Amino acid sequence: MLVLFALLAASALLTTAAAEAERPPRPLFERIVKTKKIAPGLLYTKIIEKKIPRRTFVLRIDLRKAITLDVTLSKSRPSARRDPSSRGS
């Protein structure tokens, strides 16, 4: 009886190890990458790494195409740099 139990336990361990070996290794940091075409010659990419946590935003411009880019800021400084008391509700 003890020998039968040992054989069953060994086969279960070997089956689990074989299943683990067949599975491709997971990357250390999984990334979520989303790319969106905003205009001809302008690509916006968002890369999210949840374990770090880090978010990367990439704006890729193809300079071979004619493109204009307009940028505006809220008031004189970005809101993250202002005091909480000066922000509106």
Task: Count the alpha carbons within 13 Å of 53 in the hemisphere toward its beta carbon.
Answer: 1
72, amino acid identity: T
Does pTM surpass 0.75?
no
Distances 9 to 1, 2, 3, 17 between C-alpha atoms, Å: 12, 11, 10, 12
pLDDT score recorded for residue 74:
66
Cα–Cα distance, 60 to 38 (Å, whole number):
10
pLDDT in tens, 33-58: 999 999 888 899 999 988 888 899 99
pLDDT score recorded for residue 57:
94
